[in-house]
Chains A and B, each alone.
Chain A
């Protein structure tokens, strides 16, 4: 059973537009939600994360939103740039520290 579901599988946006990626999760004990960014040929790297006590966290052009009631989170990228083209993974962590459950990923392409 997949603990974290991610959509869409792929997404194409124009440069300057806003990108929205979404995830949902099953386990109500999840309390920490990171987003990882992966460029082709590289390993994933942490982009932004949020704890379940917050509903929003912002870092530059990237903002993640968390809705505990609906068990959903999202990643918004404003003023999307071609350099943002990558695969994005959301993840969730429950009571076991260090144990992340990853979504299947969203491949983002930003067209100049």
Chain B
């Protein structure tokens, strides 16, 4: 069974503070993703990675940085958190197969920026 874990599961941050969301996968997948989920917008891609050391911008990268130090770990960094970044964040991993391109999601992190 694919396994993606996220920490913390819940986070309260202050405006202007730094927030780091962590993700670990034991699937040995090359690809990892960070999404945010907001009502009416579905899942929006923030950053993704094709392997250790690589990061790519998704559809809404402004205000976020990403780091992929190893195959297993992928972090999302909010250097200066703002209330508009209050959301639920999901990490996912996948192997990017041609005919079956399944992404396995973690349980999510609820972030509240005050």
List A residues at the B interface (Cβ < 8 Å): 6, 9, 32, 34, 41-46, 49, 51, 89, 93, 97-105
B48 pairs with A102, CB closer than 8 A: no
A44 pairs with B100, CB closer than 8 A: no
Question: Can you show 21 pairs from A to B with CB atoms below 8 A apart?
Answer: A32-B99, A34-B101, A41-B107, A43-B90, A43-B92, A43-B107, A43-B108, A46-B102, A46-B103, A49-B101, A49-B102, A51-B99, A97-B101, A98-B31, A98-B95, A100-B101, A101-B45, A102-B35, A102-B42, A104-B41, A105-B43
Number of A-B contacts (CB under 8 A): 59
Residues of chain B within 8 A (CB-CB) of A100 are 45, 101, 103
> In the assembled complex, how far is the CB of residue B46 from the closest CB belonging to chain A, in whole angstroms?
13
Instruction: List CB contacts (< 8 Å) of B1-35 with chain A.
Output: 4, 31, 35
List B residues at the A interface (Cβ < 8 Å): 4, 31, 35, 40-45, 48, 50, 90, 92, 94-108
> In the assembled complex, how far is the CB of residue B26 from the closest CB belonging to chain A, in whole angstroms?
15
A104 pairs with B100, CB closer than 8 A: no
Residue of A32, A42, A46, A98 most packed against chain B (CB within 10 A): A98
